[in-house]
Structure formats: structure tokens, C-alpha cells
């Protein structure tokens, strides 16, 4: 039975796009992409609105005229990543190609694509927050479980800092398993759970003051990462690594509306062995654009708790 490579590629593309959002710890950030104008390729247009504050009402002249400014910032998704995979026809036949190919692409995305997207998003948010240097929004030198410290107090201070900046809507916390463990031990079974939705999937997650805590692996919680190109010596394995002077993040508090993230898989290509010019093998080309942005007027909405001491000199790459 002949395989419709185009239909198969479309099926994989749709399935992998859904999985990228549902499985990523930061998948909830894609919910804000509805504001973004995307017409294909690497460029997106992000809306930015500003309004004026209230004025006095006058019984003779009425209301003071207010101004609303809506502009669109054109941004380019800087992350253009991909890999090529080949499956020898001796190892498969047409009937089980889809099953085998699905297993390969699903494992690749689970092991490498999703962790990299998470690490990139969180490190970019952290870098921009540190660079913005808003008073009271970055705390250094807290180690979960250290003597005479309280994980609960650290978290509540972070939530309070965001609230004092005027952000009273829904918040989200990304935290390492070590930090969440200390919270659970400190609260002795009193920690509550809330329903958290991501990519159309509802899950129960721990919370404090109604703020959901998203457990995020420590190797995705860096202030900076190095992205490997997959071809330079020492980088052929691809993926990413902790930046050379990066710091370790304990947790991050941010409003649900602050990050605007987008991930799009380019048209997936599948070539059967009769078309593949290089090898007698099935070839699958995987390419994904992604990026994340925090608008300038929302950089004061993010709180970082960093495990390491504050660097004495500049540099965080």
C-alpha cells in the first residue's frame, strides 16, 4: 500500500504542534499568541496598547478627552531549528512506517525539542528581567532548604513584589522540584491544588495563595543558555547547555498575560526511498520556529529568585 507522504507529514505536523504546547512546562505561554498576527515565515506582529489615566469630571464640559494608542511591533522569531532523520527501508515496511516514524519524531520532540524551548523561554525572560533591573524584582543567594530560611516566605515575597507593581490578575510560578519540595515539607500536607490549563489539557498542580506552581526541571531554569548549532566541533549533539556564566533560578513569578510565546513547525517533509537522492531510506525533515517576547511596559511584572549570589561584575551569558 502506497503512503501519501503529504497527508502523513500534515498529520505529524499537527500532532507535534499540539504536543509541543501540551508537554512543554511553558506551554501555557502560547495562549497569549492569540494577540499576535502571524502570516507564515519567521515574522510576527505583536500589539502594544497604551492608555491615559483618569481626569476630573466637569459638570459643564463633561469628560476630559483620553487617548488610546494601539501599535504593532514587528518581531522576528530568532530560533530557527531543525534536524533530518533517515529510516532504512530494511528496518520497516510501508505498513508500519507511520508507527515507526511517529515514535522517532515523538521521542525527538520529548527529549530535545521541548526542553530546549522551555530553557530558551525561561532564560530569555530571566535575562531581560535582570537587564531591566527593576527595584525589588530580582533576589539573589537563596538556597532551598538552607538553615534559617523559609521557602514559603521567599515565594510570598515574590508574589507580593509583583502585586505591588499593580499586577492583580492571574499569576504563574515556575519553580524547580527542589524549591517545591521545600514548600511541601514546610506546609506539611497543607499545600493546596488548583486546576491549571495548558494547550486544552487540565491538570492539578500545587498552589500558594491560589497561584499555580509549575514544576520545571532545574536544567531548564538558567538565566542564560548556549544553543548548539549541531555542526561545529563540540556541538554536533545539538540542543543546548547552561551558559558559561549563567545563574540557577529557584523560581519565577509572572502574570499569565506577560509573556507572548509562539512556536510553529514549518511544513514537515517526508521523502520515500525512491525520491530520496542521497540514500535508499525514508527521510524526515523537521524544522521549528519559536521565540518569546516580553513587551517593554511589562518588564516590571516579573520576579526572579536566583540561587547563586549576585555577580560582582557584569556578564550573564
pLDDT in tens, 265-276: 666 666 665 665
Percent over 70 (pLDDT), the chain? 78
Q: Which pLDDT score is estimated for 96?
A: 59
Residue 151 pLDDT? 96
What mean pLDDT is predicted for residues 16-25? 69
Integer CA distances (angstroms), 34 to 45, 126, 242, in order: 11, 23, 31
Tell me the mean pLDDT in the region 239-268. 89
CB of 267 closer than 8 Å to CB of 40: no
- Could you write out the DSSP letters of every residue in 213-241? EEE--GGG-BS-EEE--SSSTT-TT-SEE
**What does the radius of gyration of the chain's CA atoms come to, in whole angstroms?**
23
What is the value of pTM for the model shown?
Answer: 0.78
H helices present in 109-147, as ranges: 114-132
Pick the most confident of 81-90, 95-104, 200-209, 232-241.
232-241
- Alpha-carbon gap, residue 309 to 138, rounded angstroms: 11
The arithmetic mean of pLDDT across residues 61-77, rounded, is: 83
> 19-33, 78-92, 176-190, 198-212: which has the highest mean pLDDT?
176-190
Say whether pLDDT at 221 is over 90: yes
- Give the CA-trace dihedral at 97, 100, 101, 106, to 10 degrees: 160
Find out whether 309 and 140 touch, Cβ atoms under 8 Å. Answer: yes
The residues pairing with 125 across neighbouring beta strands, listed in sequence order, are none
Q: What is the pLDDT of residue 39?
A: 67
> What does residue 144 show for φ and ψ, rounded to 5 degrees?
-55, 130
- Give the chain's mean pLDDT: 83
User: For residue 2, what pLDDT is reported?
Assistant: 45
- pLDDT of 4-14, one tens digit each? 444 444 555 55
**Above 60 in pLDDT, residue 148?**
yes
Using a 10 angstrom Cβ sphere, with 0-12 exposed, 13-18 middle and 19 or more buried, the burial of residue 222 is: buried
Amino acid at each position: 500500500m502506497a503512503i501519501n507522504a503529504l497527508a502523513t507529514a500534515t498529520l505529524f505536523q499537527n500532532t507535534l504542534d499540539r504536543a509541543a504546547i501540551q508537554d512543554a512546562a511553558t506551554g501555557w505561554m502560547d495562549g497569549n499568541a492569540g494577540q499576535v498576527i502571524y502570516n507564515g515565515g519567521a515574522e510576527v506582529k505583536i500589539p502594544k496598547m497604551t492608555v491615559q489615566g483618569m481626569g476630573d469630571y466637569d459638570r459643564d464640559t463633561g469628560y476630559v478627552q483620553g487617548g488610546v494608542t494601539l501599535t504593532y511591533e514587528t518581531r522576528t522569531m530568532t530560533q530557527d531549528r531543525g534536524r533530518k532523520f533517515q529510516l532504512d527501508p530494511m528496518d520497516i515496511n510501508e505498513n508500519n512506517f507511520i508507527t515507526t516514524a511517529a515514535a522517532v519524531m515523538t521521542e525527538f520532540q520529548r527529549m530535545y525539542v521541548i526542553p530546549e524551548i522551555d530553557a530558551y523561554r525561561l532564560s530569555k525572560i530571566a535575562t531581560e528581567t535582570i537587564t531591566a533591573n527593576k527595584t525589588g524584582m530580582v533576589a539573589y543567594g537563596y538556597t532551598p532548604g538552607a538553615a534559617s530560611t523559609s521557602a514559603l516566605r521567599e515565594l510570598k515575597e515574590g508574589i507580593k513584589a509583583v502585586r505591588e507593581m499593580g499586577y492583580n490578575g492571574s499569576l504563574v510560578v515556575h519553580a524547580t522540584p527542589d524549591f517545591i519540595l521545600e514548600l511541601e515539607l514546610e506546609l506539611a500536607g497543607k499545600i493546596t491544588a488548583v486546576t491549571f490549563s495548558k494547550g486544552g489539557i487540565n491538570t492539578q498542580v500545587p498552589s500558594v495563595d491560589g497561584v499555580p506552581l509549575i514544576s520545571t526541571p532545574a536544567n531548564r531554569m538558567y538565566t542564560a543558555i548556549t544553543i548548539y548549532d549541531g555542526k561545529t566541533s563540540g556541538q554536533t549533539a545539538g540542543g543546548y547547555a547552561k551558559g558559561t556564566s549563567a545563574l540557577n533560578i529557584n523560581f519565577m513569578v509572572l502574570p499569565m498575560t506577560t509573556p507572548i510565546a509562539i512556536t510553529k513547525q514549518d511544513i514537515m517533509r517526508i521523502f520515500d526511498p525512491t525520491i530520496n537522492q542521497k540514500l535508499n531510506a525514508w527521510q524526515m525533515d523537521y524544522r521549528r520556529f519559536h521565540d518569546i517576547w516580553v513587551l517593554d511596559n511589562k518588564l516590571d511584572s516579573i520576579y526572579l529568585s536566583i540561587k547563586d549570589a549576585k555577580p560582582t561584575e557584569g556578564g550573564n551569558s
